[in-house]
Amino acid sequence: MPRLPKGFRDIGASEIREQQAMLAKIRGVYERYGFEPLETPAIEYTDALGKFLPDQDRPNEGVFSFQDEDEQWLSLRYDLTAPLARFVAENFDKLPKPFRRYATGSVFRNEKPGPGRFRQFTQFDADTVGAESIAADAEMCMLAADTLEALGIARGDYVIKVNNRKVLDGTMEEAGLVGPDSSKRRLMVLRALDKLDKFSEQDVLLLLTVGRKDTSGDFTPGASLNEDAAERILSVVTQTRQYFVPSGDTDGAKQLNKAIEENATYNAGFEELTQIQAMVRAAGYDADRIRIDPSVVRGLEYYTGPVFEAELTFEVKNEEGQTVRFGSVGGGGRYDDLVARFTGQKVPATGFSIGVSRLQAALASLGKKSADTLGPVVVLVMDKGEVAAYQKMTQTLRSAGIRAEMYLGSAGMKAQMKYADKRGSPLVVIQGSDERANKQVTLKDLIEGAKAAAAIKDNKEWKEARPAQVTISETDLVSKVREILARHEA
């Protein structure tokens, strides 16, 4: 039995067309922001991609990897950022700094597929490399907002959430999580905080301390903080959120203080968030579009400063009538250490990435799906001895810019009609011996015909009525076909 590897999928005509349209819109926005296109290969040396090293026991963990003939480990890219870091490191001297590029393509992850999550999917990234300025980060947020709106997502149906890793780091320092001994617990704290939009504060407190048992009976170990430290962390996060985006009246909010006054790391992150907020607000992006939210975590190790997450806020019902939240459809942030891995030289960089496939699924359920495009005009083969004449008509239509094909199978007329129907053809061209004798062709409008047919119950009448068809002179072929097509192009 032929079958698809799990986590992969075939994509049909209408979805491809839709995706191409999306990519074009995204590209338009990225270009408008001044990014240049760059394409890098889908395969890199494994060590160029980062921390998934082939000298471990299982080089295939997370990434698809294999060895070439001289035993070097190669991997399929799992994102577009790591290859960018390689490219920048390799071409550093030639590139304009800051270097701004966009890239799109398939990325691959060797992990368990889930709902809306596949092992191959499309991302679309924009990155600025070599810019320390926080303005580069603010720009990414605005780019993200503009892109989602260009794709037809209404203001209010999405939000770009912004945080700063330094704020979280400072918060954890305050709670006593310092030094290499605590690095494991710091990761657990970050994971726990990331759940704030999903679980209650009570549950997050459990995750910070003793651990939590979920409804399926699975137990998630906690970060084993003591109560005080856990509550401190949580309250810093919620207070910081209050400071930037106050719920309720804005006047009262102005009274709020930032949560920690004395921690240098926290203050640095806080200051950057303040600047980002000031810049995007000055450019006219309000909290309904770009919002500071200190519970955003994103990837665990990699980010060093601001992080962004593009989230869809609307809910949608699936086939079973359950409400589904799509959540994150993109994200990014500042990764100042990525290029340094190759050159040793610290190169500041910031970027944003859209999960195209996921976003497309979300748009589809939002009802934004474009109508199926019409199939080609089909020229029927009534008389196998006259194939050349049919082929010529087909070419005439093609030369006029009309999508057309001659029926290439071997079946009779009835089956050819069914074929045209299944292809979604708007009309067929018929020339039997009668028409040919008079230098005429018959055009049948399949869309009108289907409507007319609905009213006819009797087969004899159906046969004789021959609805929605017209016999014309051969010389009018192109103009009459255009006329019919024009009726169906809305």
**Residue nearer to RNA on the CB measure, 113 or 176:** 113
**Residue nearer to RNA on the CB measure, 43 or 187:** 187
CA-based nearest residue to 170, from 69, 41, 268: 268
Q: Can residue 487 be called a binding residue for RNA (CB under 7 A)?
A: no
**Residue nearer to RNA on the CB measure, 20 or 473:** 473
Q: Which stretch binds RNA (CB under 7 A): 32-40, 75-83, 143-151, 356-364?
A: 75-83
**Residue nearer to RNA on the CB measure, 77 or 100:** 77
CA-based nearest residue to 109, from 62, 68, 65: 62
Considering only 39, 412, 475, 487, the residue that binds RNA (CB under 7 A) is 412
Check residue 117 and report its DSSP letter. Answer: B
| CA dihedral (299, 304, 310, 316) positive or negative | positive
Q: Can residue 195 be called a binding residue for RNA (CB under 7 A)?
A: yes
Considering only 449, 477, 481, 484, the residue that binds RNA (CB under 7 A) is 449
Q: Which stretch binds RNA (CB under 7 A): 20-28, 167-175, 208-216, 247-255?
A: 208-216
Residue 82 burial (CB < 10 Å; 0-12/13-18/19+)? buried
Site for RNA in 278-307 (CB under 7 A): 298-302
**Residue nearer to RNA on the CB measure, 80 or 259:** 80
220: phi then psi, degrees, rounded to nearest 5: -105, 120
Residues near RNA (CB under 7 A), total: 67
**Residue nearer to RNA on the CB measure, 80 or 280:** 80
**Residue nearer to RNA on the CB measure, 188 or 208:** 188
Distances (CA, A) of 458 to 175, 177, 413, 415, 470: 82, 82, 21, 21, 22
Q: Can residue 459 be called a binding residue for RNA (CB under 7 A)?
A: yes
Q: Can residue 413 be called a binding residue for RNA (CB under 7 A)?
A: yes
Residue 435 CA to residue 486 CA, distance in Å, equals 24
Q: Can residue 350 be called a binding residue for RNA (CB under 7 A)?
A: no
For residues 417, 422, 427, 430, the Cα torsion angle rounded to the nearest 10 degrees is: -20
Residue 319 CA to residue 40 CA, distance in Å, equals 39
DSSP H helices in 91-182:
134-150, 165-174
**Residue nearer to RNA on the CB measure, 176 or 424:** 424
Q: Can residue 462 be called a binding residue for RNA (CB under 7 A)?
A: yes
User: Cβ 273 to RNA, closest distance in Å?
Assistant: 20
Considering only 58, 71, 216, 345, the residue that binds RNA (CB under 7 A) is 216
Q: Can residue 11 be called a binding residue for RNA (CB under 7 A)?
A: no
Residue 489 burial (CB < 10 Å; 0-12/13-18/19+)? exposed
Q: Are 307 and 296 in contact (CB under 8 A)?
A: yes
Q: Are 435 and 441 in contact (CB under 8 A)?
A: yes
Considering only 414, 486, 489, 490, the residue that binds RNA (CB under 7 A) is 414
Q: Can residue 408 be called a binding residue for RNA (CB under 7 A)?
A: no
**Residue nearer to RNA on the CB measure, 257 or 433:** 433
Strands 158-164, 73-76: parallel, antiparallel or unpaired by DSSP? unpaired
Residue 110 CA to residue 236 CA, distance in Å, equals 37
State yes or no: cis peptide before 98, omega within 30 of 0: yes
User: Cβ 265 to RNA, closest distance in Å?
Assistant: 21
Site for RNA in 415-444 (CB under 7 A): 415, 417-418, 421, 430, 432-435, 442, 444
Q: Can residue 115 be called a binding residue for RNA (CB under 7 A)?
A: yes
**Residue nearer to RNA on the CB measure, 192 or 237:** 192
User: Cβ 296 to RNA, closest distance in Å?
Assistant: 11
* Pairs from 20-28 (Cβ < 8 Å, separation ≥ 24): 21/370, 22/151, 22/356, 22/359, 22/360, 22/363, 23/104, 23/122, 23/124, 23/356, 25/147, 25/150, 25/151, 26/104, 26/124, 26/147, 26/150, 26/151, 26/354, 26/356, 27/102, 27/104, 27/124, 28/150
**Residue nearer to RNA on the CB measure, 287 or 316:** 316
Q: Can residue 382 be called a binding residue for RNA (CB under 7 A)?
A: yes
CA-based nearest residue to 102, from 120, 117, 121, 87: 87
Q: Which stretch binds RNA (CB under 7 A): 10-18, 135-143, 268-276, 454-462?
A: 454-462
Residue 382 CA to residue 380 CA, distance in Å, equals 6
Q: Can residue 112 be called a binding residue for RNA (CB under 7 A)?
A: yes
**Residue nearer to RNA on the CB measure, 136 or 430:** 430
Q: Are 305 and 194 in contact (CB under 8 A)?
A: no
Residues that bind RNA (CB under 7 A): 6-7, 50-52, 62-63, 78-79, 81-82, 109-115, 187-188, 191, 195, 198, 214-218, 220, 298-302, 382, 411-415, 417-418, 421, 430, 432-435, 442, 444, 446-447, 449-450, 452-454, 456-459, 462-463, 466-469
